[in-house]
Amino acid sequence: MVLRNKLTSLLTRIRGMMKSYMFCVFLILLMVVPLMGISYEQTEEYTQKQAILNERAVRFKAETGFEGYIGNNLQSMQFSQISGNFVDIEVTAPQDTEFMRSVFDQVVSKVMPNISARDGQLKSGKVVSNELGSRTIYWQKVNGYSIEGGGGTLRISYNLATQKLNVNNGTVDISSDPVSINLSLEQAISLVQEKVFDGAEVKPTNPRIAYVPIDNENGQAYYLCHILTNQGYTVFVDVSEPIIRKVAPNLISRSFNVNILGNVYNGTYTDIVNIPLSQQSMGSVLVQTPIDSLYADSFGQQTVSDSIYVWLINHTLDKEYAEPPHIILTNMCNAHLFIDNAKTDKGLVTISIGIGAQFEGEEAKYQILAIAKDTP
């Protein structure tokens, strides 16, 4: 009897513990499940950032007389694009390049306090005009050095159809303080030969100095580097101290001119079956590729880059040809090889062979058969 009572008491305690455990699990689930379903737009951080940017947009409009749309970048906490007009900037000759140069310069002075580029860092490019309007690019340079690897532009355009000015902000935050160049080009080359190529005397092509984005523990920062491109890799060496900031495989990129068109509703409509649409250029649309991300201008146009293949082999044939011959490429390795281009200069034929995938264990092996064309 005593044993039975003890067992009953033990079972009762276990049931109580299980109920408490299940209750705790239930509470934990109540806390976790809602968190899993919350998007970033619903977080307190997003709300706070958006409130700051909205307040800045109101102040920008009040200080500059801007009327129109403002799109923001939550990462840089600046505007990414604006589309509209300034009350004190009147566009009377929208296809006159000299006049539009002065207009675009006025726009730059308006937006400078709200972008990453510092005073004196923007260099104006050529103003281009056509039947759609006018546009230009301001290139960001810091103490005379360009920015490579992303960022560093302010694109401004005027659309004749909408009669609006459009600004796409791609500037980056780099101090104008001078950077000491303590490492010569020869020292940088020697460092790369020792650390990257095991002492081989590899000579870079087109060595130069520029600011480049480098990932670090705080995200990303721009460093002034010697840029040394060798077959297979590009090495970025800090100009101030003997540090290799980055080693990257060479990605040959091609630029594509993109024209974005879309079907636009023509005002109001009542017929939900036969909706009146017209095809128009779509401005301020984000165009993305694996290595590029840019907004289209007000004409729906943009130039973006895309990675095509890893490297090119330029092979010049020994024999001279009066006319470009027929060329047959035979792949003899485990990489995807293809003929990218062939050109003739004073009888010498140079064939550009693209490597479509990286591979290990073999060098690029191939055979070229050149068949001369019949001549009368």
| pLDDT above 70: residue 317 | yes
* Dihedral, 277, 282, 283, 284 alpha carbons, nearest 10: 100
Domain boundary among 170, 201, 230: 170
Output the pLDDT for position 284. Answer: 65
The overall average pLDDT reported for the chain is 79
Output the pLDDT for position 203. Answer: 87
Q: Is the CA virtual torsion 218, 146, 181, 186 positive or negative?
A: positive
| pLDDT above 60: residue 352 | yes
Reported as a pLDDT band with limits 50, 70 and 90, residue 332 is confident
* 13 and 122 share one domain: no
* 142 and 101 share one domain: yes
Residue 176 in domain: no
Residue 286 in domain: yes
Output the pLDDT for position 7. Answer: 43
Domain boundary among 145, 170, 195: 170
Mean pLDDT of 115-131: 92
* 143 and 73 share one domain: yes
Mean pLDDT of 333-344: 75
* 48 and 165 share one domain: yes
Mean pLDDT of 256-272: 62
First-residue to last-residue Cα distance in the chain: 120
| pLDDT above 60: residue 218 | yes
Q: How far apart are CA 347 and CA 268, in angstroms?
A: 65
Cα→Cα distances 218→179, 215, 252, Å: 21, 8, 29
Query: Do residues 179 and 239 make contact, with C-beta atoms less than 8 angstroms apart?
Result: yes
* 28 and 66 share one domain: no
Mean pLDDT of 83-108: 96
Mean pLDDT of 78-92: 93
Which carries the bigger pLDDT value, residue 365 or residue 279? 365
Output the pLDDT for position 21. Answer: 44
Cβ neighbourhood burial of 89 (10 Å; 0-12, 13-18, 19+): middle
| pLDDT above 60: residue 362 | no
Structure confidence by residue, pLDDT tens digits, 223-262? 999 999 887 788 999 999 999 999 987 765 556 667 776 6
Range of lowest pLDDT (35-39, 303-307, 340-344, 362-366):
35-39
Range of lowest pLDDT (24-33, 175-184, 284-293, 305-314):
24-33
Domain boundary among 292, 308, 324: 308
Residue 31 in domain: yes
* 144 and 241 share one domain: no
| pLDDT above 60: residue 269 | no
Total domains in the chain come to: 5
Output the pLDDT for position 314. Answer: 76
* 293 and 198 share one domain: no
Reported as a pLDDT band with limits 50, 70 and 90, residue 364 is low
* 194 and 280 share one domain: no
Which carries the bigger pLDDT value, residue 347 or residue 95? 95
Residue 204 in domain: yes
- In the chain, what percentage of residues exceed pLDDT 70? 71
Residue 177 in domain: no
Residue 208 in domain: yes
* 144 and 50 share one domain: yes
| pLDDT above 80: residue 309 | no
Residue 27 in domain: yes
Reported as a pLDDT band with limits 50, 70 and 90, residue 171 is very high
Write out the two tokens for 213: 């984005």
Output the pLDDT for position 36. Answer: 47
Structural domain span for residue 191: 185-250
Output the pLDDT for position 68. Answer: 94
Give which of 170, 150, 153 is closest to 215, Cα–Cα. Answer: 150
- In the chain, what percentage of residues exceed pLDDT 90? 40
* 123 and 225 share one domain: no
Give which of 117, 128, 59, 146 is closest to 297, Cα–Cα. Answer: 128
| pLDDT above 70: residue 321 | yes
Which carries the bigger pLDDT value, residue 297 or residue 117? 117
* 130 and 166 share one domain: yes
| pLDDT above 90: residue 156 | yes
Residue 215 in domain: yes
* 152 and 98 share one domain: yes
